[in-house]
Amino acid sequence: MPKSRIRKKADYTPPPVKQAQAIKLTNSAWVAPVMLAMFLIGLAWIVVFYVTNGSLPIDSLDNWNIVVGFGFIAAGFGVSTQWK
């Protein structure tokens, strides 16, 4: 019976080296001021609510004023995700 040819295995060749690309990290000018404004508005809303014993900022919301204040703070955290 004839002997089959032995195939030579290819030597390992590493993949080509990719060039590193610079990441553009630029901030939009509006991000930091809007983020800080949201934090401060939320904090002020809650402080005013407690200092006035619930009669301000919006009397008809009653204890929902706390939720509104924390909503502003949460929006500030949402805007902060855009900061680079």
57: which DSSP letter? S
pLDDT single digits (tens) 34-43: 999 999 999 9
Joined together, the tokens standing for residue 77 give: 């955290």
Q: Could you tell me which residues come within 8 angstroms of residue 31 by beta carbon, excluding any fewer than 6 positions away?
A: 79, 80, 82, 83
pTM of the model: 0.69
pLDDT single digits (tens) 6-50: 777 777 888 888 887 877 777 788 999 999 999 999 999 999 999
